[in-house]
Structure formats: C-alpha cells, structure tokens
Amino acid sequence: MTVHIGAKPGDIAETVLMPGDPLRAKWAAETFLDGAVCVNEVRGMLGFTGEWKGNRVTIQGSGMGMPSLSIYANELISEYGAKTLIRIGSAGAMQDAIELRDVVLAMTATTLSTPSRGIFREMQFAPCADWSLLKAAEAAATAKGTKTHVGGIYSSDVFYDERPDLNEQMTRHGILAVEMEAAELYILAARHRCRALAVLTISDHLIREEALPSSERQSSFGDMVEIALEAAFA
C-alpha cells in the first residue's frame, strides 16, 4: 500500500494500462478483462486487476496531467513492480490527414515541461516509446483495420491553452496530436528501465474545431484498448 494506491502486494500486474479517467478504467476493466477486481479506490482513482486471454492486467486511472500521472506511475513501478505501462487516452488532432476516432501511436512526446524537468536542468531530453510495444501496436492496429498514425505528439502541461502560436509550430513540424501525459510516462519508463507506450484515440480536432460528442466517446475507445492489450502481450 502506498500513499495514493491502496492495493496490497501482489494485487498489481506487471502490465498496467493507464487511462486518465478512473471511470474509463472501470469501463475498460469490465469490458475487456475477465474476473476484474477493484484494487484501488484511494481518492476515487479507481484501479482494477483481471485477466485478458490468460494474462494478468491492471487498469489504473492516472488523473489529468503529467504531475498526476507521475505520482501513479512512480508508485506502480517502484512499489508494485510494474514493467509495462501503456497510456490509453484521448487526444486532439493537429494534422488535417487525421480524423476523429483515428488512433495515434506516440513514437515521441514533445513538451515544454514535465515534473522531471528539474533533473535534466539545461538538457532537452527526448522521451520516446518502447520500440517493441510500438511495433506490436502498429501490427495490431493494421490487423484490426483501424486507421492509425505513428509519429510524434505534444504533451501539454495546460488544458486551456492560450498559445496559438505554439500550436501552429507543432502542426508545422509534423506533430500528430496533443494530450497531457505521455512525455512524463516515457521519461519515467526510461529512468526505471520499463516499457511504455501511449495509444491515443482522437476525440477532438484542433484545426477543424471538431469534437466527438460525449455520448460517442466511450464506444469509440474500444479499438484503442484492444490495440494496447495486443501490443502488451505480443
């Protein structure tokens, strides 16, 4: 048991999927895992452990933003022995070729700042995904026929962004989408020699100002979860 995770030793699997929303963690566990049991309710940040095709999996909410994810990822790795951490979440498209409901696999994650910035000081560390997970996720997406894009994303440390000039530069330099957690996850995975990947469903489009209605978001995220699970155990 840690400050933020109430699970007992052995309750957490080595493979952890991390949606930001704890209710999405509940939905994913009930939809995709066999015998899912709630292992964490501290601060309402739900976590569940069950099995997928005979493999133990934990689905643990991470909250919004890199500081929140950093807390949960650190405790999952250091105290519970997590080895593979896959973020499953929503993102906003930053390229015209990307459509709502498409899946983005984050090869790299650009950011202005993360909770780890103080460690690197003047260095601009380049956080990236685990290659084996990325390759397996792309293969799983192709097999499913899911429209998928692989490349760099932008992890923002604010939700209500007032830097349109920065968004323009991200788009100009080929950044596929924006979200709020992956960069810190990739940095922590590198530090602790773990595997990490972000599998993202496009829920909004920054250029076209489109968005999925809330009633459709949950049903559109199934492909993302399946791709993450296939990649974890490829």
Element (H, E) at 89: strand 84-93
Of the candidates 96, 157, 161, 204, the residue annotated as catalytic is: 204
Residue 204 among known ligand-binding residues: yes
Is residue 161 a known part of a binding site? no
Residue ranges in 33-97 assigned as alpha helix (H): 66-78
Q: Is 87 one of the annotated binding-site residues?
A: yes
Amino acid letter at 79? Answer: E
**What secondary structure letter does DSSP report for 110?**
E
Query: Which among 196, 178, 158, 4 is positioned nearest to 66, based on CA atoms?
Result: 158
Ligand-binding annotation for 181, yes or no, is: yes
User: How many residues are listed for the chain in this entry?
Assistant: 234
Does 193 carry a binding-site annotation? no
Number of DSSP helices (H) and strands (E) in the chain, helices first:
8, 10
130 marked ligand binding residue? no
In angstroms, what CA-CA distances link 38 with 25, 66, 149? Answer: 10, 24, 33
Annotated catalytic, 204? yes
Q: Which two tokens stand for residue 63?
A: 């909250």
63 is in an annotated binding site: no
Round to whole Å and give the CA distance between 227 and 151.
Answer: 16
195 annotated as a binding-site residue = no
208 annotated among ligand-binding-site residues: no
Ligand-binding site membership of 20 (annotated): yes
**Which residues contribute to the annotated binding site?**
4, 20, 24, 43, 87-90, 179-181, 203-204
**Which residues contribute to the annotated binding site for a purine D-ribonucleoside?**
4, 179-181, 203-204
Active site residues: 204
